[in-house]
Amino acid sequence: MERSLTFFMTASFCVIMGTSLAVGLLLSKIEPDAAGSGIPQLKAAYWKEVGYVHWRPVLVKFIAGVLSLGGGASLGREGPTVYIGGGLSSVISGFLGYPKRLRRGTMVIGASAGLAAAFNTPLAAITFVLEEIISDINSRIIGRVVLTSVLGAFVVYAIVGRQPAFTLPAIDTVSWKVYVLYPLVALIASLAGVVFQRATLSLRDRLKGQASVPPWFLPCCGGFITWVIGSACFIATGKVGIFGLGYHDLSEALSHGFIWWVAGVLLAGKLLAFIVSYGFGGCGGIFSPSLFIGGMSGFFLSGIAGFWLDLSPSDHIAAAAVGMTACLGSIIRAPLTSLLIVFEMTHQFALVPGLMIAIIISKIVTRRSGDLNFYDAVLVHDGHELIRIRPPVDIRAWQNLPVSAIANHRPVIVESLEKDALREVVEKHPYNGFPVVMDGKLTGLVTRARIEEALRSDGTVTLEDAVTCHFDQPVRDVADKFIESPAGVMVVMDRVTGRVAGIITLHDLLRAQASMMD
């Protein structure tokens, strides 16, 4: 026994440290955008790059994901699979001649097929793409998403058969007693999800601002801490669920049950390992660890409640399923996906009422903990403007957007009307209108046509009256004011300083509206 423990400790240390080093080198030296789950990057590519994904991060994500998950990082396979599926579809569509602006549809169908294959859950794949990536249940590409999700599931059925991810004993009914426990399980599991989100984002921000540890070594630090936590939990419980997906231990618990204190140890260990694995820059998703943490929350609390309540094995399983849905729902904040994925992974209809309760509790908890789900919070912390990634889905909401959401914050300003200066402006910049600022004050607007006319005739340039607005004005008001601007350009002024702060063109307005309608 002592010899096998020594071998396990040594072998696991070598594997996780070796793969973490390889992942760190891949992500820091070749493609930093391949870090994390990949879902935030895919959302940004869908909205900001109209579905275009370069082939290199897709390849690096595949290699780093295999190394990271195979090496024992406490992450999931869902994120990399969705990113690889969506990215590969975008790359293939490029090879087939699709222009960049037409790749949104191909990207999301690849993402849905990837998620359906990763978890053998076609319905959850459909709702996840619509809820999270597109952010519109009524999207016009829903037909393609449904078709590819079904095809992805068919591929899995052909290879591994039509079986759920977790094999459970048949659950015909659950007792009324466990319904009393459902809200508490959902509350604790949801709070665990909130703790993960806040702790992980805080850790990422702290590591970004430090210079003592090189970026390529950070995954090694996360791997070492994960190894310490996983080894300690293995010594205490004999379980290895801290490493990798953890599905073996979760499947065992769902099939045969767990002692309450074992579930508690695995719950705490997995949560800590999950935070450090993601926070230190690992490559992997968040679905599998979230389901594991939620499941162990259910077994832990139902095990303790079993000292006072006469709970059946089916009741313990139902409590675990409630925890799985609540924890996942509190992190991704996609209620339909969180419910359907647990149902499809278990194929047990008796669990559905409890899963609905879990969704309600997780929604209440997350509304009090912040406005953003984990994916959107990562994008904001990485410097993205969320409004450019998650635009409004109806015309009224779009009209109420502030000008700052669609304006150009780095305008090209003309500060001299000398011929050489004007010639340099039109040669370097393809724009049709430029605000003119003299002695720090806006004096008008000059168009490209006026500049070119003045350069040809060797005369003086004629200025147009500048129509102005402010960043906090709604788009609706700005759209009406475009009638006053014959050049189709408006200058955005800073209310405090009175200086030019940006510019907005009719093209910006139409592009933003087209993005909403796509």
Confidence of residue 516 (pLDDT cuts 50, 70, 90): low
Q: Is the pLDDT of residue 513 over 80?
A: no
Q: How far apart are CA 332 and CA 111, in angstroms?
A: 16
Q: SS3 for 136? A: coil
2-160 — its CATH code?
1.10.3080.10
Best CATH choice for the domain 392-517 from the list 2.30.30.100, 3.10.580.10, 3.40.50.1820, 2.40.30.30: 3.10.580.10
The answer to whether the 176-385 and 392-517 domains have the same CATH topology is no
In the block, residue with structure tokens 């960043």 = 471
Tokens of 280: 């230190």
Give one DSSP letter per residue of 477-517, joined into a string: HHHHHGGG-TTSEEEEE-TTT-SEEEEEEHHHHHHHHHHHH
Q: Is the pLDDT of residue 2 over 80?
A: no
Sequence spans of domains, the chain:
2-160, 176-385, 392-517
Over residues 305-334, the pLDDT tens digits come to 989 888 888 899 999 999 999 999 999 999
The answer to whether 361 touches 326, Cβ cutoff 8 Å, is yes
Tokens of 300: 């832990």
Sign of CA dihedral 333, 335, 338, 341: negative
Over residues 22-51, the pLDDT tens digits come to 999 999 989 988 888 999 999 989 888 888
* Domain 176-385 sits in CATH 3.60.130.10: no
Provide the whole-model pTM.
Answer: 0.84
More confident residue, 161 or 219: 219
Q: What is the pLDDT of residue 485?
A: 75
